[in-house]
Amino acid sequence: MGFNAMTIKNCPFTPEDINAIKNNLLNNIATPSHALTKVTTGATIEAMPGAVIASPSLPGNTFSQDYFFYWVRDGAIVINEIAVLYKTATDPQEKNKFKEILLCYLNFVKKVQSQPELNSIDILGEPKFNVDGTLWTGVWSRPQNDGAAYQALTLTHIANIFLQEGNKQFVIDNIYNPQSFASILKANLEYTAANWQANTIGPWEELFGLHFSVQIVQRRALLEGAALATQLGDTGATSYYQTQAQHIGNALNMHWNDSLGYFSETLAAQDQRGGGINTSVLIALLYGQIKQANDDFALTSEEVISTAYYARYAFEGLYQINTRNKALGIGGSLVGRYCSDVYDGNHSIYGNSWFLCTNMLAAFYYGLAQQLLEGNSISVSFLVKQFLQQVAPAIDIAIGDKLSKASPCFKALIETLVTQGDDILQVIKACSVTYKDGSALHMSEQIDRASGKQISAQDLSWSYATLLTAVRLRAETVKLLAAA
Ligand code: NOJ
Ligand code: NOJ
């Protein structure tokens, strides 16, 4: 058993690069000093501070969609990264700037949630709002229940930061009031606890059903919510949220497709658009991670590892950009949402690789390396071996081997995983563009699977947020590795 160790290089994104990424993201968040105005032929809408726009792109010659809206899911994922930036900022001015965004977001969410239902569904199941915070009443796929779960996670994150700073009363007044079902976080948790068994539209706004990617985030939201409820003395809620989370865990296991070797996204629709292997599962495994050794959905579990194998494999030969890169000796693979996807932001001719999906594949490698370093070992089954050969083709390993910290190729595996993530980020960086004004590292939603050119919505907030997630996980992993 063994293979050659490799040396980890620097992160493909330098600190200056990360700054540029942050600025590109901040451009999409309205604050009192950064106005965002949506101008279309029909109307002009001023964004309310705290609104995160999905992208500034409006319908045009090569793009038929309007992304100048607030999506609950996209917004929560973005603000979660802003909360990390706030927590880790050392420059007081920067810290203030991030704090202002968090406070504006709390206000914005309050406005969004306190509106009457207009589309015959609970306001908490609504996926999309105008940038002034009013409900979008046009035709759309509803409900999208991952939104409330992502939002609950982000609000819990913010609440925990403020509690650590000693601002309990602020948290009770503005985020989670045990006495009020209307307080923004409690509302999302109650909605999630009561509705996780209901069919919903998934994160790609297409399939209706029970989705792995929705439920695993709901589970984590309830577990984190339960812990916060305990801190705030809401013990009835604690046990309710915990019990529901446990049930969700059982429901999630039903998504394991033993004959195919992966967690299918949508129960009862595995043969439909994205109901089977889907990178939405990988993304949610990361954002829905509960960091408990031996959790069924730990990144180190055989089922999760095998799902990652198939998610990457599905796109490797499908996209010309990947086969061309491979011929040039470029390692990182680009991935899209699912193989039969046709959505391209315009005429839906063929689906493409997505920045955010690819960033999260890199995040998976970093996250897996991190969990391994934190003490989990993996036993080499057939499926695990298949994964290991994908990331380290030269690996010499046998079914039945056990990879524990003491095993000789453990360190080499960690280094390989980090390098695999880096190879991906290298390709992502190569796909970014510099604008005429000199601002760098702009990322759209999609990368054309044939030409490798950016297409669909420009400057997609979620593309930037997932990149920040990936480099953050990388930094944590490299630190752990240095200490090991
Ligand atoms: C179909 C796409 O697949 C979905 O992701 C998108 O949000 C909607 N069209 C609207 O643009
Ligand atoms: C389409 C994506 O499929 C969906 O996940 C996202 O919320 C919207 N675009 C807005 O970015």
Residue pLDDT, tens place only, 14-65: 999 999 999 999 999 999 999 999 999 889 999 999 999 999 999 999 999 9
Domains contained in the chain, number: 1
- Does 54 reside within a domain? no
pLDDT band at 405 (very low <50, low <70, confident <90, very high): confident
Q: What is the pLDDT of residues 140-159, one digit of tens each?
A: 999 999 999 999 999 999 99
Residue 445 Cα: closest atom of ligand 2: 11
Distance 213 CA to ligand 1 centre (A): 17
pLDDT for position 480: 95
- Is 66 a pocket residue for ligand 1 (Cβ < 6 Å)? no
Q: Residue 4 pLDDT > 80, yes or no? A: no
pLDDT for position 294: 87
pLDDT for position 1: 59
Average pLDDT over residues 207-218: 98
Distance 462 CA to ligand 2 centre (A): 9
Distance 13 CA to ligand 2 centre (A): 25
- Does 441 reside within a domain? yes
Average pLDDT over residues 85-114: 98
Mean pLDDT taken over the chain: 96
Q: Residue 410 pLDDT > 80, yes or no? A: yes
- Does 310 reside within a domain? yes
pLDDT for position 5: 65
pLDDT band at 469 (very low <50, low <70, confident <90, very high): very high
Pick from 359, 421, 420, 361: which is nearest to 392 by CA? 420
Burial class of residue 70, CB neighbours in 10 A (0-12, 13-18, 19+): buried
pLDDT for position 419: 97
Distance 170 CA to ligand 2 centre (A): 32
pLDDT band at 106 (very low <50, low <70, confident <90, very high): very high
- Does 65 reside within a domain? no
Residue nearest to ligand 1 atom 11, measured at CA:
65
**Closest ligand by atom to 283 CA:** 2
Residue 462 Cα: closest atom of ligand 2: 11
pLDDT band at 403 (very low <50, low <70, confident <90, very high): confident
For residue 243, the number of C-alpha atoms closer than 13 Å in the C-beta half-sphere is 8
Distance 28 CA to ligand 1 centre (A): 20
pLDDT for position 394: 84
How far apart CA 151 and CA 186 sit, in angstroms, is 11
- Is 374 a pocket residue for ligand 2 (Cβ < 6 Å)? no
Distance 39 CA to ligand 1 centre (A): 22
For residue 107, the number of C-alpha atoms closer than 13 Å in the C-beta half-sphere is 15
pLDDT band at 3 (very low <50, low <70, confident <90, very high): low
- Does 239 reside within a domain? yes
Residue nearest to ligand 1 atom 10, measured at CA:
65
* End-to-end CA gap in the chain: 21
Residue 341 Cα: closest atom of ligand 1: 3
**Closest ligand by atom to 138 CA:** 1
Query: What would the 3-class secondary structure string for the chain be?
Result: CECCCCCCCCCCCCHHHHHHHHHHHHCCECECCECCEEECCCCEEECCCCCECCCCCCCCCCCCCCCCCEEHHHHHHHHHHHHHHHHHCCCHHHHHHHHHHHHHHHHHHHHHHCCCCCCCCCHHHCCEECCCCCECCCCCCCCCCHHHHHHHHHHHHHHHHHHHCCCHHHHHHHCCCCCCCCCHHHHHHHHHHHHCCCCEECCCCCCEEEEHHHHHHHHHHHHHHHHHHHHCCCHHHHHHHHHHHHHHHHHHHCCEECCCCEECCEECCCCCCCCCCCHHHHHHHHHCCCCCCCCCCCCCCHHHHHHHHHHHHHHHCCCHHHHHHHHCCCCCCCCECCCCCCCCCCCCCCCCEEHHHHHHHHHHHHHHHHHHHCCCCEECCHHHHHHHHHHCCCCECCCCCEECCCCCCHHHHHHHHHHHHHHHHHHHHHHCECCCCCCCCECCCEECCCCCCEECCCCCHHHHHHHHHHHHHHHHHHHHHHHC
Residue nearest to ligand 1 atom 7, measured at CA:
205
**Closest ligand by atom to 52 CA:** 2
Cβ-contact 72, 151 below 8 angstroms: yes
Residue 206 Cα: closest atom of ligand 1: 3
- Is 354 a pocket residue for ligand 1 (Cβ < 6 Å)? no
Average pLDDT over residues 336-354: 97
Distance 204 CA to ligand 2 centre (A): 6
Q: Residue 408 pLDDT > 80, yes or no? A: no
| Domain that includes residue 168, residue range | 148-483
Which CATH number characterizes residue 212's domain? 1.50.10.10
**Closest ligand by atom to 461 CA:** 2
Q: Residue 292 pLDDT > 70, yes or no? A: yes
Q: Residue 287 pLDDT > 70, yes or no? A: yes
- Is 50 a pocket residue for ligand 2 (Cβ < 6 Å)? no
How far apart CA 417 and CA 438 sit, in angstroms, is 34
Average pLDDT over residues 282-294: 93
- Does 157 reside within a domain? yes
pLDDT for position 2: 66
Residue 73 Cα: closest atom of ligand 2: 7
Does residue 136 or residue 5 have the better pLDDT? Answer: 136
pLDDT for position 407: 79
Q: What is the pLDDT of residues 367-382, one digit of tens each?
A: 999 999 998 778 999 9
Average pLDDT over residues 188-205: 98
- Does 31 reside within a domain? no
Average pLDDT over residues 240-258: 98
- Does 235 reside within a domain? yes
